[in-house]
Structure 1
Amino acid sequence: MITVIEQAVQARLVATAPKVETVPVTLRYVRSDPFAVCMAFPAPATLEGIEISWTFARELLETGVERSAGLGDVRIRPYGPGRTVIEFHAPEGIAIVLMETAELRDFLARAADLVPAGTEHLYLDVDRSLTALMRDAS
């Protein structure tokens, strides 16, 4: 049974310079963490020179492909026909990424096949999460 979905997509990293760089990005969805999606950027695309991953709510991505969403570190909105802008806000600055909306919708459909929206609570392992939380607290 499938428990993890990964999808490679192309993203356009928008910089302050006129150059717009295309970078491969990996979207990841794990059934055991049903409320979240992860977006991983390869080392060459980051200031630190290491792979960087951002984890945020699946619902934020679902909403953001339709209309502006997010007030915190991750903000998502449609951008013209067929594209979506994702902004990542960090102390080091803001990264703005343009992605094909169709690729994001395909990823979200695959995630919904794995864990239908509204049923996420059925896939949580509360005992395991609580054990991990207690272990980290001690």
Structure 2
Amino acid sequence: MPVLMELSYEREDPFAVKLAFYGPVGVMARWHFSRDLLLGGMNGSAGEGEVKIWPSKESSVGSALFLRLGPEECHAVLAVLRSPVSHWLAHTFKTVPLGREMAEVDWDEERRQLFRSV
């Protein structure tokens, strides 16, 4: 059974990346984690808790990136080609440069959302 993985990034949520897995019947799982975590995992071990990312030891174009998703007692470890993820991540930095994430936040909308529940 083929499973497709999709990474997405939105300017409106500049700190997060979204990872979705699709199977024959649609979305199987969704994960949201920080873009900084993915960046850290490209060259070394990164993450605590339910998301951990690290590269394979090879440094060739075909090297892998490992993602461990889920709690310690029940998790999945996935291996994906590192190069396409690296290119995709570089594109996110063209959309919102590293260190400029706070400049992209609509603070008026954030205040509206915050005070809507008060």
TM bucket, shorter chain: 0.7 to 0.9
Q: 1:1-138 maps to which residues of 2 (within 5 A)?
A: 23-44=3-24, 50-81=27-58, 82-90=63-71, 93-135=74-116, 137-138=117-118
What's the CA shift string for 1:64-88, capped at 9, x where partnerless? 0100000111100012321110011
TM, length-normalised to structure 2: 0.85
Give a deviation string over 1:1-34, Cα, whole Å, max 9, x none: xxxxxxxxxxxxxxxxxxxx75211100000110
Question: 1:134, CA displacement in angstroms?
Answer: 3.1
Cα distance in 1 for partners of 2:98, 2:9 equals 13
**Alpha-carbon separation, structure 1, partners of 2:72 and 2:114:** 27
Q: Higher strand share goes to which structure?
A: 1
Q: How many residues align?
A: 114
Task: Check 1:118–1:61 CA distance in 2 against 1; reply closer, same or farther (3 A cut).
Answer: same
Query: What is the aligned-residue identity percentage?
Result: 33
RMSD: 2.2
Query: 2:52, 2:86 → 1: CA distance?
Result: 17
5+ long unaligned stretches in structure 1: 1-20
